[in-house]
Amino acid sequence: MSLFSGKKILLGISGGIAAYKTPMLVRAFIKQGAEVRVIMTPSSKDFVTPLSLATVSQNPVYSSFIAEDQDNPLWNNHVEMALWADYMLIAPATSNTIASIAQARCTNLLLAAYLSSQCEVFVAPAMDLDMYAHPANQKNLATLSVNGVLVLPTEEGFLASGLEGKGRMQEPEDMVSFMENHISKHLPLFGKKVVLTAGPTYESIDPVRFIGNNSSGKMGFELAKQAAALGAEVVLISGPSALDLDHAKITVIRVTSADQMFEASKLHYTDAAIFIASAAVADFKPDTHATQKIKKETNFNQINLIPTPDILAHLGATKGKQFLVGFALETENELENAQAKLERKNLDAIVLNSLNDLNAGFGGDQNKITYLQPNAEPIAFELKTKTAVAVDVFDQILLAYEKTS
């Protein structure tokens, strides 16, 4: 999963030889989970075909203000295209296109979309070395930067003229990485470490049997993905779960028992900015573990239980600058029990959910929560997908965390 997952990219292509790289650029964004739409200048079609770009993007490609459909022409709404985008990238950006952007000219659909954009805009220059170095082009590029456009660096190498030097457009993967790195630095949790626990713990009775619960880990995994989307470096300590997560900013640590989760939590707590304990940790474990499977014939009829480590209480007692969030799954007196847990364990916030809420809780894809924090009224949310709940939780965390950090 990438920072671009679920994002909408508007790619503008102008008429330079580097346009031949744009189908690979579209493919690179799609591999990161983005949706891509393409606007071409008329001259760019001399270098790459709209059919190729429509095929790889799986979206129509636009190049004129009017879509000519026999006797029923349609307006290609540049405003709608511009407002649709989360990010806009113009690549390649020729000398002519750069000059037009700098001077707010509006002579084609691409320029009109740029002038209507409300999102962050990136420009990837591509031209011969002497054109790129010309004072007029450098002045125009500087104007773009002043106007808030992010100008990607060019590369050195062989150019279409046969010369060698600076002016080549970056390779598609490098452009995606450059944009991702730039965007990450402006996210609210960039440079912060967020640690989460998720899933159940299994407390072994013998090699075959255990004490556990029905937690799937879905809520914790969604919280981890949201933390990464906000720029954090994430450590996810997960009990037994069928879920998997492949994300460059998320390290998954697999544990089984409460003791193992306790040790992993202590290890990663010291330098955490935010710690979210969403795991359903077993409260008790057998006082002994049988090394062999217990047979029926032994008339085994009793398991002596002892408490597991209270992970959240320990973290609350040793808390420094960490922002500590707990979860409470309740079946009765929900608000009172959650409020007591918030205070008793020295938490900065607690997320309450109830087994009494239909279609919420363990195993499902939805949850209904109430967010509690010290000296504030509880905030109740409607039933939502766990993905949306993760967004709500971090919205609340950030409001408080930014005041204390």
Element (H, E) at 87: strand 87-93
SS3 25: helix
Instruction: Provide φ and ψ at 38, rounded to 5°.
Output: -125, 135
Residue at 264: amino acid letter? A
- The whole-model pTM stands at 0.78
Strand order in the sheet with 323-330: 250-254, 233-238, 193-198, 274-277, 323-330, 349-354, 369-372, 379-380
Q: Sketch the domain layout of the chain as residue ranges.
A: 8-185, 193-292+299-404
Q: Which two tokens stand for residue 42?
A: 């008329």
Can you list the residues of the chain whose pLDDT is less than 70? 1, 68-72, 358-361, 363, 405
What's the maximum distance between 2 C-alpha atoms anywhere in the chain?
91
* Predicted pLDDT at 145: 96
Task: Say how far residue 197 (Cα) sits from the centre of its chain.
Answer: 18
Closest CA to 9 of 20, 18, 22, 21: 22
What CA–CA distance (Å, rounded) separates 227 from 221?
10
In sequence order, the 6+-apart residues with CB closer than 8 A to the CB of 66 are 73, 74, 75, 76
* Predicted pLDDT at 161: 80
What CA–CA distance (Å, rounded) separates 132 from 139?
11
* Predicted pLDDT at 361: 66
Pairing relationship of beta strands 274-277 and 164-168 according to DSSP bridges: unpaired
Tell me how far CA of residue 258 lies from CA of 121, 165, 208, 307, 361, in angstroms. Answer: 48, 60, 18, 10, 20
| 108 classed as catalytic | no
* Predicted pLDDT at 69: 63
Tell me how far CA of residue 65 lies from CA of 59, 76, 82, 100, in angstroms. Answer: 17, 5, 13, 17
Residue 335 Rama label (left phi>0; alpha psi -120 to 50; beta) = alpha
Contact 358, 332 (CB under 8 A): no
* Predicted pLDDT at 356: 72
Closest CA to 211 of 291, 276, 277, 288: 288
Bridge partners of 221, per DSSP, are none
Q: Which two tokens stand for residue 79?
A: 């405003």
DSSP-assigned letter for residue 42: G
Q: pLDDT by residue (tens digit) across 273-323?
A: 999 999 999 999 999 988 888 887 777 778 899 999 999 999 999 999 999
Asked: is 193-292+299-404 a CATH 2.60.40.10 domain? The reply is no
Q: Which two tokens stand for residue 204?
A: 């072994």
What CA–CA distance (Å, rounded) separates 77 from 49?
21
Domains 8-185 and 193-292+299-404 share a fold: yes
* Predicted pLDDT at 346: 96
CATH architecture of 8-185: 3-Layer(aba) Sandwich (3.40)
* Predicted pLDDT at 70: 60
Catalytic position from the list 59, 213, 337, 346: 213
DSSP state letters, 56-114: HHTS-EE-SSEE--TT--EE--HHHHHHH-SEEEEEEE-HHHHHHHHTT---SHHHHHH
